[in-house]
Structure 1
Amino acid sequence: MPGPQTTETTASWSDVSFPLPLRSHQTRALAAIESSWSAGSQRSWVVLPPGAGKTLVGLEAARRRAQPVVIFSPNTAIQGQWIAEWQRFEPPDLTIGDDRALATPLSSLTYQSLATFDPEFDPDDDVGDASDDGDDPDSLLARLNTGGAALVEAMRATGPLTIILDECHHLLEVWGRLIAELLEELPQATVIALTATPPDSLTPTESELVDALFGPPLYATSIPALVRDGYLAPFAEFAWLVRPSAQESEWLIGEAERFAVLQTDLTETGIASTDFLEWIDRRFVSRTIDTGDDPVDHPGADRLDVDRLELDWYRLEQDEPELAAAALRFCTAGLLAVPPGATLREEHRRPPSADDWVALIKDYVETCLRPSSDERDQELLERIGAALPGIGYQLTRRGIRRGRSPVDRVIARSAAKTDASVEILAAESAELGDRLRAVALCDHERATATVPAGLRGVLRAEAGSARLLLDTLINDDRTGGLSPLMITGRTVAGATDTIAALSSFAHDQDPGLRLETVPVDDHDFVELRGWTSRQWVPIATRFFETGRSRVLIGTRALLGEGWDAQRVNVLVDLTTATTPTAVVQTRGRALRLDPHWPDKVAHTWSVVCVSDDHPGGAGDWDRFVRKHRGYLAVTDSGEIAVGVGHVDPGFSPYAAPPTGTFAANNAAMLVRAQNRCRIRDLWQIGSPYHDQLVHAVRLTSDRRTIARPELPSAALVAPELVPGDPAPRRDRGNTIMIIGGSAAVLITMIVLLLFGQDWAPALVIPMLAGGGWWLRQRRAADLAAGRRLAAWAEPPDLIDLGRAVADGLHAAGLSDRGAEAVSAAVDSGGGYRITLADVSTRTSEIFAEAMAELVAPIGSPRYLLPRYQPVPIADDAQQLRRAGARWSSGQPLDRQRVTYHAVPAVFGVNADRAGHLRTGWNRWVSAGEPIRAATAEGTGILVSTRGSSPIDVAAALRQVWE
């Protein structure tokens, strides 16, 4: 089959151009692509967020390549976008089509148009039978049906061509394998891969495939970068936290009872041949197991060698991270001692969850109970099996397996989430008025299965559906006037007057439509029928953008990837999808610039349901955390941060806030949402940036810890003395001068009196003046010394701890910068964020982790550092002078209290590294030498301090964008 390209057509590529200027990031992306072509590469991969104009980048790059173009997209909506975008190029001499015959210079197709297989072929089969014509039995190309095979043949016949793979993160499994084979068949093809998903957010499978096909991305930019440049709308993330309804909570309490009984039983003694708590102690602390006779060393560990135990724990965290984390959360609950070599980090400082219990129970079952013939063990095994279904697990012959959890279904589809959507939309409507353009996304239009028997009377049949949300919004006085409209892949529905207005609007748009309104049983809305989703999606979108409906309800599948509406300014996310691709695409719907509102600010609301009535009640919170993992947004303090901390600085990725705080949290969210102008200002649109992530440590305390005013880097000066240093020597010269002078004056006065000089007593005046001056100086010096001691009695300045770590890293050759690069800021939640600026991302991560370990509760470090503190001194001048005088006289009052800090792992690898930290420590924090934990002194210190916090702060690792 001859290709569509001719000499005349080739010449016309240079005559076509895009009529508008390219954006700066588009120009950089195109330059990177052309540079790779100049270097001989034919495959390019570019990462641009939704709304960045990656379609234009792909078309312009293909135009410059000046050869036939075949575009593959994941769905028909995006396929149509490519066609519409090319039609903006001028003059319209080169046409674009959607035919697999490739009869036009540009062809826009879907991946499905290629990946169509013979009906009898299962593409998931690993091995096929050899074909009669000698084709590779594993080849997917050989299994294509007639249409797919014809497309491949047309591409072969075209000769050199450009293939654009849009949203290349979709290249999974069959599509990825098929595209890989196709590219091998087309060695002359130029390939341009485009995606909106950041490369570090891809799954390992996606990363491996994309890297094999294209290598590292040539160019990538982030959503915050495009907001700063003014190409995307500024936005903020919010969360509305709810508890299940009263009826749902009652059911959850009942479901939790059996597992609660099991937890109680497992903490008792004598219920098995080896009790659960005894077993986890042997498993993780003493590192011994009971073989039925005498305890023996656990493989790979030596109880008498601390270094070996530390190494064993490191291996456990690497090999079985979930099991190790569960064990450390048992330490937080007081059910287990801190294992040798372990460090309690932020994620461990919360009570164990149901999943933590299951992780340890699973190991207990497989290692201890199953192999045993003891009747007590078998009885306990049966009780465990009976209790696990209540938290979504099953005990099978192959072990404990996760099942479909009815608890998680209740949480995910709670009626409270639908009610919360009403509150959010009512509040946003009150704020925006006629400007409101809100989209509410659900997982499904209606329930896809009947409610299980155990949930009847707990969940409504349509719980969590778009239909239930539409009904609820229509029937609430605050939201009914917003004319909510539901559009899904098979239904258009709304209130009677809304549908009448839409029907009239649709007829104006397409007079050929013949639509009818159909009532719906058991609902307060009607449907509009007589058209297809290809017709109603663009028309309903225009209807929405004009404001005739101010709330659009739909599913992520229809209103997600490929759907655009520039005027969306509120997004309510009720979905359970947590993949990075789904998150980026969903939130990207609200980030387009609005030509009717240049100062548009978008709000994205996540509705999260959490129950403290059941150990599995945090499933929705965990989904919320996964949605924000790797996603950047502005905080209320103006930082652009990764994770749930940008929603609220007090939110932790490891545990939901107490349910008792939900009302206050929601009220705070509403207050923040009312000030869109402030949110816009926080983005600092137009200001410079590096477009890189920096790791930070956030420190919080019940006692408000405020840094002293930060000095300019050039003026950074370490304190003259730190706790543990000896007192400065008093200036004896002044004392000797005063005493000597007084003696000389007294002798002179006596001599003069003997010679009859009556005025001689007047010489006592300068002597008294000198003595008074000396006494005032002495008292002032003692008072200053006392005040210094009083300041040292307080917790250390957190920024000085950071400076000590930074200087230690610099001395060890692990950082290009030291104390001068440490910066600190106090966020709106009272947290104290410390970063190491102007260093690589990896260096900032090392610094943040070291800081977190330095202030964390002591686990089992290799070294400890002392921090000396004097006893507290009352704020009384006399007592301060007395303490200062005693200290100046040589009494070591500053060493009466000693607090120990764990030396961070990066410094604990050997004595030299620990010495580098000591240098910074002695300069900024305290005198003292590192103490090796394996010595007799170190062992004694560990016994008395393990699990204790050296300072009243909690550390949390965060990532911020700069």
Structure 2
Amino acid sequence: MPPEPVASPLTGWIFTGELRTYQAEVLTRLPVGGRDPLHVVAPPGSGKTLLGLLLAARERHRTLVLAPTVTIRQQWVRTAVDLAPDARAVSDDPERIADLTALTYQALSVTGDGSPFDDLARVVWAEELVEAGRSDADAATWLAEFAIDNPAQYRSGIRRRTRRLRSQFARRNPAELARVLHPNAAALIDRLVAAGVRTVVLDECHHLLDHWALVVAYLAARIRETGVEPLLIGLTATLPSPDDETEYENYSQLLGEVDYEVPTPAVVKEGHLAPYRDFVLLTEPTPAEAGFIRRHEALLHSMIVDVLSTPDGISFLEEQLQPANGPPDEDPLARIDRALSADFALTRSCAVVLREVVPQHPLVAAIPQVLLDRCTTDDLLTVLVRFAQARLLADPSAANQWEHVRRSLADFGYLLTDRGLRRGRNPVETTLASSEAKDAAAVEILHRELASDDGERVRAVVVTDFVTHGNRRGADAAAGALRTFDALVADPVVAGLRPVLLTAQYLRVRADDAATLAAALADLLGVTVDIGDAAGATRDLRTSGAGSGRIVAAVSELIRRGEVRVLVGTRGLLGEGWDCPAVNTLIDLTAVATSSATQQLRGRTLRLDPGWPEKVAHNWSVACLIPADVALDDASEPDRLRRKHSHLWGLNADGDGRIVSGLAHALPSAAAQAFEAVLDKHPDASIRGVDDLLRAAWPARATTRAEWRIGEPYTSRERDEITVRQVAAAPLLRTTQVARADGATSAVGGALGVGLLLAVLAGQGLAVHPALGAALVAAGGALAAATTLLPLLGRTLRDRRHPAEVYRLAALVVARTLRDAGRIGPFDDTDIVAHVDDDRTRVRIELGGMPADRRVVTDAVEELFAAVRTPRFLLRIDRGAAGSTRLFERLADRLSPGRTLLPVPRAIARRRGDAEQFERHWRQAIGTCTLHELQGAQGLALLRVARSSEGRVDVARPRARVWG
């Protein structure tokens, strides 16, 4: 029997203030009394706590709020007391269940230090053994012995069952789940259910990945056993990363798809978060680190070259470039053509590697120049892995060589297996991520901030991953908060800001500030603060009787007063839950790039500051790049930089007031182009040159605030955007092949029509003079042709005046083909629009619609206009046969471009039928085209032409999402 319900809990809870626009929209849009979970994403400072309470109150059931920390739990209690008619209706005591009870997730703990799913898998395995005929005791004994006798097989069995359990844990019997919970947690859940809890609010619900997902699933299952359906309300500032598919599946099983997402720009525009700007500072490794990287580059290059320059390695390269299954007297170029047809990408890599390994090899001269790009690290690794798998792994006698290559690659952070190469965090990536140059960059950023018009208002937080990191490659001290703090206090300008280091283990200050700050903290904490023994330029402060939460609050108060203006700490302490509205400058030195970590960090600076109503936040990212003159390729830092900014909204760095995501809101066009030149190893590119461009484009905080246009009406709409460079004439115009065919057909038809009319007239006795008749026939043909060609010419002129429409049609062709292929759902043609920039040099293609489908289409459109690499199909767009003399054809020919070759996107090129459908859609919407598969000599010739021109995607304005 279900427990007796509490009489109308939360009914009298009233909010007397004014709801924000998006809060009111959430309450209006999300249904009351539904059976499905409610899932809301909103940034820090957007009023999630109030929104969650109002969503729960309208359900009129007893409610449990689960929060990740005690600090956040107390925020819920304070806000709930303000709404409740009686403060006794709110509790944070697990022994007193009230109308609304706020607890931490940790209160519902699970057993052990490992995954509860492993414990549950062992329970299931034991049950399987019992069903097979063993007793309970025998099953338990056999499993215990098996775990010791054959641990590998035991772990394999646990993993198999764990995977199955993870995919169905939310539907398992509550009694099974209870067996892996701590008895205290199970008893607390029983009390909650017995007290009539029906609504469960999950704050910062991105924590529901493994342990807590199982606990909440158990709580929900126990409520269902009473005969009612629980309502789960998930609130978070950011979704968890889908990188761990299993954990993400646990999360999505509980909360489903997002029902409403409040964009950060909406909260800023309504004046509830501070306007902000994102900046990037690029640096390069210190001389010692650069020396290590160069040695690493030389060692890796030497190791690969040594392996591939052996007779066996050269033989492998020759066989890849000159396959043997052909005529004995076959030309070397023809053999290369066949190799390209068999495996284009591998053949190209083998070509550049052969030139690198044996530059004087006779075959190098026969390789077409179009294939001989720069030999990258990826090319070397690709060929080495193929060689190792084909020649070493397959040959038992080469086992020692296979092990040598495998161990050698492991030294560089690569794991070679029979499936291929898996890339771990190699030493170069670790060196760049923890570079000492980033500490110097933090000092430089503070110098720039202090020199600005609002320099006296700067309150900065510098965040690292760890207190100290084990990596010391090329550095004197291990990376982390301690090393960063030492760099800050050593600078006389930054030292004047009274920097403080605060971590779980340290409260460190400058020696010159120790007495002053110790006294200030003692006054705030009401306890004695001791100064540690002398240790160079810094001192550690020690408190007794004050917990970490109180110390963090006291330091935050000193920041508010301006007595401390720089705080150094780790993301574990200064990330989620830390609240210091006075902080207006973030220097992010962390290596994390997940959505949750990135957005939580940025949320620290966006709180409104009562002491500065005109506050503008500056958020800095620091990346350490390998200089252009070092041949080694490592994309870890630029990729991390891109990932970080892909999760964030911000003002377009070009100053046009648009709100975009991606690097476009941190790098102006010129800087973005220079950044790509560094990554492409352009000889004239430099990291300092990129920084010079960024400094020149650095706007004042007042300019940033004005660009946000706070208080003005806005449309909360999101779409993806691709920017392409516009050539003199739109490169996708309808071709004159169509005009020629239609014109010729119309001319013949017109002439025959006139001739038939003359014949009829002659039959009626109305003969026409032969010369006049011939003139009339010719005139009829010309008039008919003109009637057909003039509209085509008009359309060509129109498309020339409005080139954006041609690009819009190209994007529509992509979307229609993907829809026909079943890769996206239905879409509205109006979701795709295109605009020409004011300077008429670029076209912006914007794609709306459902997020998942929109991303698929945007990926394909970007690939269509990107530089040609190694596609399976090319779409050829011709201007018609040469030598035409007809006036209309020649005129249209001049207005349309020459030969254009576009790569067919991979999502379409996987199946020939889809590629052919793409060609049909293109013909119908845009004009004549021909589909070519890259095979043999013809494919190589087309590739030469296609790769001779640059891609149309504008590298200076990277792909972005647009809001508003």
Residue equivalent to 1:51:
45
Question: Partners in 1 of 2:349 and 2:312 — Cα distance?
Answer: 23
Corresponding residue for residue 171 of structure 1:
208
Report the counterpart of residue 476 of structure 1 in structure 2. 491
- Provide the secondary structure at the position in 2 that maps to 1:186: helix
The verdict on how the C-alpha distance between 1:518 and 1:608 changes in structure 2, with shifts beyond 3 A counting, is same
Counterparts of 2:387 and 2:238, CA distance in 1: 40
Q: What is the CA–CA distance in structure 1 between the aligned matches of 2:729 and 2:700, rounded to whole Å? A: 28
Code of the aligned partner of 1:640: I
Partner SS, residue 87 of structure 2: coil
The yes-or-no answer on 1:517 pairing with 2:535 is no
Contact 1:858 1:949 in 2 (8 A): no
Q: Distance in 2 between matches of 1:915 and 1:120?
A: 56
Partner of 2:694: 669
Alpha-carbon separation, structure 1, partners of 2:285 and 2:455: 30
Using the TM superposition, give the Cα deviation of residue 910 of structure 1 relative to its aligned residue in structure 2, in angstroms: 5.8
Residues of 2 paired with 1:3 and 1:551: CA distance? 54
Secondary structure at 1:260 match in 2: helix
Give the Cα separation in 2 of the matches to 1:655 and 1:706. 28
CA contact (8 A) 1:369 1:378 kept: yes
Q: Give the Å deviation of 1:887.
A: 6.2
Q: Distance in 2 between matches of 1:936 and 1:121?
A: 54
1:452-492 Cα distance to aligned partner (Å, 9 max, x none): 7xx4xx3233x322122222222212211111111112322
| 1:384 lines up with 2:421 in the alignment | no
Q: Is the 8 A contact 1:271 1:380 kept in 2?
A: no
Instruction: Deviation per CA, 1:672-706: give whole Å up to 9, x if none.
Output: 44422332333343455543432322335xxx968
Q: Secondary structure at the match of 1:52?
A: coil
Q: Is the contact made by 2:884 and 2:890 (CA closer than 8 Å) also made in structure 1?
A: no
State the partner residue of 1:460. Answer: 476
Query: Within the alignment, does 1:158 sit opposite 2:183 as a pair?
Result: no
Counterparts of 1:351-370 in structure 2, within 5 Å, are 354=377, 357-358=380-381, 361-370=384-393
Q: Which residue of 2 aligns with 1:739?
A: none
Cα 1:185/1:819, change in 2 over 3 Å: closer
- CA distance in 1 between counterparts of 2:531 and 2:295 reads 45
**Structure-to-structure mapping, 1:336-415, within 5 angstroms:** 354=377, 357-358=380-381, 361-373=384-396, 381=402, 384-385=405-406, 387-393=408-414, 402=423, 405-415=426-436
1:57 & 1:517 partners in 2: Cα distance? Answer: 45
Distance 1:118 1:275, change over 3 A: closer
Judged with a 3 Å threshold, the aligned counterparts in structure 2 of structure 1 residues 940 and 137 are, in CA distance, closer, same or farther, namely closer
Q: Deviations over 1:61-103 (max 9, x none)?
A: 2233333322212222322322233243365533533322234
Q: Which secondary structure state, in structure 2, belongs to the residue aligned with residue 368 of structure 1?
A: helix
The counterpart of 1:565, out of the listed 560, 569, 580, is 580
Residue 54 of structure 1 deviates from its aligned partner by: 1.0
Q: Do the aligned residues in 1 keep the contact of 2:240 with 2:595 (CA within 8 Å)? A: no
- Higher mean alpha-carbon deviation, 858-867 vs 529-538, is at 858-867
Residues 804 and 819 in structure 1, CA contact (< 8 A), matched pair in contact too: no
For 1:20, the equivalent position in structure 2 comes to 17
CA–CA distance in 2 between the matches of 1:153 and 1:720? 71
Which amino acid in 2 is paired with 1:246?
A: P
- Displacement after TM superposition at 1:826 (Å): 6.6
> Equivalent residue for 2:245?
204
* d(CA) in 1 for partners of 2:418, 2:862: 45
Deviates more, 1:690-699 or 1:891-900: 891-900
Q: How far apart, CA to CA, are the structure 2 residues paired with 1:396 and 1:694?
A: 41
Aligned equivalents of 1:818, 1:103: Cα separation in 2: 53
- C-alpha separation in 2, matches of 1:179 and 1:117: 15
5+ unaligned residues in a row in structure 2: which ranges?
Answer: 128-135, 141-171, 327-336, 357-370, 744-789, 821-826
1:76 is aligned to 2:117 = no
Name the structure 2 match of 1:433: 455
The one-letter code of the counterpart of 2:257 is P
Paired-residue identity, %: 26
CA–CA distance in 2 between the matches of 1:82 and 1:148? 21
Cα deviation code 1:29-88 (max 9, x no counterpart): 23344x142x4x163221112211111111222233333322212222322322233243
**C-alpha separation in 2, matches of 1:26 and 1:799:** 38
Write out aligned runs for 1:541-940 (5 A): 541-612=556-627, 613=630, 615=632, 617-637=634-654, 638-648=657-667, 649=669, 650=672, 656=679, 660-699=685-724, 799=804, 801-805=806-810, 808=813, 816-817=828-829, 821-825=833-837, 832-836=842-846, 842=853, 846=857, 849-850=860-861, 852-854=863-865, 856-857=867-868, 859-860=870-871, 862=873, 864-868=875-879, 898-902=898-902, 904-905=904-905, 909=914, 913-922=918-927, 928-930=928-930, 933=933
Indicate conservation of the 8 Å contact 2:450/2:458, yes or no.
yes
Q: Which runs of 5+ in 1 are unaligned?
A: 290-301, 314-323, 337-347, 709-717, 730-784, 872-882, 923-927
What is the alpha-carbon distance in structure 1 between the residues aligned to residue 515 and residue 60 of structure 2?
49
Task: Give the corresponding residue for 2:467.
Answer: 445
Partner of 2:749: none
Greater mean alpha carbon deviation, residues 382-391 or residues 550-559: 382-391
* Aligned counterpart for 1:66 among listed residues 42, 46, 60: 60
- Greater shift, 912-921 or 480-489, is seen at 912-921
Bigger shift: residues 632-641 or 862-871: 862-871
Matched residues, number: 811
Q: Deviations over 1:741-760 (max 9, x none)?
A: xxxxxxxxxxxxxxxxxxxx
Aligned residue for 1:527? 541
Bigger fraction of residues in helix? 2
Letter in 2 for 1:502: L
Amino acid in the other structure paired with 2:585: V
Taking the TM superposition and a 5 Å limit, the aligned residue runs for 1:206-355 are: 206-265=247-306, 268=309, 270-272=311-313, 274-276=315-317, 278-279=319-320, 354=377
Superposed CA deviations along residues 574-595 of structure 1, whole A, max 9, x for unmatched, are 1112222111111111122223
Aligned partner of residue 427 in structure 1, secondary structure: helix
Task: Give the superposition deviation at 1:707.
Answer: 9.0
One-letter code aligned to 1:569? N
Relative to the length of structure 2, the TM-score reads 0.73
Aligned residues of 2:653 and 2:664 also touching (Cα < 8 A): no
Is the counterpart of residue 422 in structure 1 residue 443 in structure 2? yes
Mapped to 2, the partners of 1:576 and 1:443 lie a distance apart of 7
Once residues 86 and 295 of structure 2 are traced to their aligned partners in structure 1, the CA distance between those partners, rounded to angstroms, is: 68
Q: Which residue of 2 aligns with 1:772?
A: none
User: Counterpart of 1:29?
Assistant: 26
Give how far 1:851 is off.
Answer: 6.2
Q: Counterpart amino acid of 1:802? A: Y
Q: Which one of the candidate residues 499, 513, 517 is aligned to 1:502?
A: 517
Q: Which amino acid aligns with 2:388?
A: V
Amino acid at match of 1:506: L
Residue identity matched to 1:824: V
Could you tell me whether the CA contact under 8 Å between 1:866 and 1:900 is conserved in 2? yes
Aligned to 1:343: none
SS state at 1:641 partner: strand
Give, in angstroms, the shift of residue 608 of structure 1.
0.9
Matched residue of 2:837: which SS?
A: strand
SS in 2 for 1:694: strand
| Aligned residue type for 1:414 | S
Deviation at 1:534, TM superposition (A): 1.8
Change (3 A) 1:104 1:160: closer
Checking the alignment, whether the CA contact within 8 Å between 1:333 and 1:351 is kept in structure 2 is no
Task: Return the letter of the residue paired with 2:455.
Answer: G
For 1:800 and 1:303, locate their aligned partners in 2 and report how far apart those are by CA, in whole Å: 40
- TM-score, normalised by the number of residues in structure 1: 0.73
Distance 1:685 1:142 in 2: 54
Kindly state the Cα deviation for residue 725 of structure 1 after the two structures are TM-superposed: 5.9
